[in-house]
Amino acid sequence: MTQALLNTVGTTTLESALKGLRCKECGQEYPLKAMHVCEDVCFGPLEVVYDYDVLRKTVSRETIEAGPNSIWRYRAFLPVETENYIDVGTGMTPLLEANRLARRLGLKKLYIKNDAVNMPTLSFKDRVVSVALSRARELEFSTVSCASTGNLANSTAAIAAHAGLDCCVFIPSDLEAGKVLGTVIYSPTVMGVKGNYDQVNRLCSEVANTHGWGFVNINLRPYYSEGSKTLGYEVAEQLGWELPDHIVAPLASGSLFGKIRKGFEEFVKVGLVEDKKVRYSGAQAEGCSPISKAFKEGRDFITPVKPNTIAKSIAIGNPADGVYALEQARATNGNIDDVTDPEIIEGIKLLAETEGIFTETAGGTTIAVLKKLVEAGKISPDETTVVYITGNGLKTQESVQGEVSQPHLIEPKLASFEEALERARTLERLEWKQTSV
């Protein structure tokens, strides 16, 4: 067959790579409907399956590079059936060489995958929502919804607005002001539930059953979660079609963690990158660390907790994919650790000062755990390490408000400025002396 003919065959057979849903536990297969648990057999979670032979024939580095500058360059690996997907510019966020942070920590090759600047709502959740709402539209839902710790509500409301879908989101009533404003501005219906995320989630499961809405992270969860694979694909592509040695990512439900791996492994399967034994390490806040506790205690089950931490976006006390995250860290010689709220704040400031990135509490958690793992010798300086920054600091300003310096208040006069500058320099010299001993 000529190359031209192969290409035509390629584009017309793309759809058939999408096979169906399959239970992660017992393997029972299901059609590509709005469902997320193995209703016929074991109530295990469902996952999207693809025909990798089809993908191997139709996808190459070149076809991907020729695609849009968004997650949709990986469309062949995503669970949509039509070309009518919602592209709001999500994905292809920077992969930065973090040399100053690396030097501070004692690493040689450290990269930051910076989803603090993801589009349209400045968190990694735009990836999963772009995919989930594209699929929701194909499944003909007119109302979309979610149970959120904050960022998911922002993404769902924004992308639903863009796509013209009715939207009703559920959040815990005690979220940060920036997360609430970043939802209501798009004029969805917002329910502030007097309870924690796990209670919100339980309520939403009932609503999903009674109202027939498309909940991105409940009945659409198999499609939604596939969006996180793009955090694997992009890193591989941005590293020059290579896998890293070690990744560090935050854990809430544990979904994103597993999907980074699925992304890497799919690229290996279809021959886009060479295989490598990637190590996967996960980060939690001490005030909500059910996965980390189980990891450190050598347990293979998760004991749910009641969250109490400033890292609200990753505060899930009963994580749906917790057991899979545990297995993944253990099987790959990775680690899972947790850090205190003061360490999270230090993590936010460290990333800001060394790399010019203002992340939210989830990112502070990830940086603080990275630091802890390096200090404990659990990440070697020689490993090419990628740390995932998943959210933006402007949304959780109250967490650092009292922890930063204030502007020098001066008169609009040169003398006043000179005086203040002298005072500032003296203060800096003092601080520098203190931190360098």
From 79, 91, 214, 250, residue interacting with ligand PLP (rule: CB under 6 A) = 250
Residue 33, Cβ neighbours under 10 Å: how many?
A: 12
How far is Cα 88 from Cα 71, in angstroms, rounded to an integer? 10
Contact of residue 250 among Zn ion, ligand PLP, none (CB under 5-8 Å per partner type): ligand PLP
DSSP state of 83: S
How far is Cα 180 from Cα 184, in angstroms, rounded to an integer? 6
> Nearer to Zn ion by C-beta: 41 or 427?
41
Tokens of 270: 């279809």
Cis peptide bond prior to 94, omega within 30° of 0: no
- What does the per-residue mask of binding to ligand PLP show for 357-396, with x meaning CB under 6 A? -----x---------------------------xx-----
- What does the per-residue mask of binding to Zn ion show for 28-67, with x meaning CB under 5 A? x---------x--xx-x-----------------------
Contact of residue 130 among Zn ion, ligand PLP, none (CB under 5-8 Å per partner type): none
Pairing verdict, β 109-114 and 95-97: antiparallel
How far is Cα 385 from Cα 281, in angstroms, rounded to an integer? 10
From 178, 188, 244, 254, residue interacting with ligand PLP (rule: CB under 6 A) = 254
* Span of 2-10, 34-42, 196-204, 255-263 interacting with ligand PLP by CB under 6 A: 255-263
- H-assigned helices in 229-319: 230-238, 255-269, 290-296
Three-class DSSP category at 347? helix
From 114, 145, 201, 313, residue interacting with ligand PLP (rule: CB under 6 A) = 313
From 55, 294, 314, 400, residue interacting with ligand PLP (rule: CB under 6 A) = 314
Phi/psi of residue 170, nearest 5 degrees: -120, 125
CB distance 379 to 385 below 8 Å: yes
- What does the per-residue mask of binding to ligand PLP show for 113-142, with x meaning CB under 6 A? ----------xxx-----------------
For tokens 């404003």, what's the residue?
181
Q: Is 68 in the site for Zn ion (CB under 5 A)?
A: no
Interface residues with ligand PLP (CB under 6 A)?
Answer: 123-125, 151, 250-257, 313-314, 362, 390-391
Interface residues with Zn ion (CB under 5 A)?
Answer: 23, 25-26, 28, 38, 41-42, 44
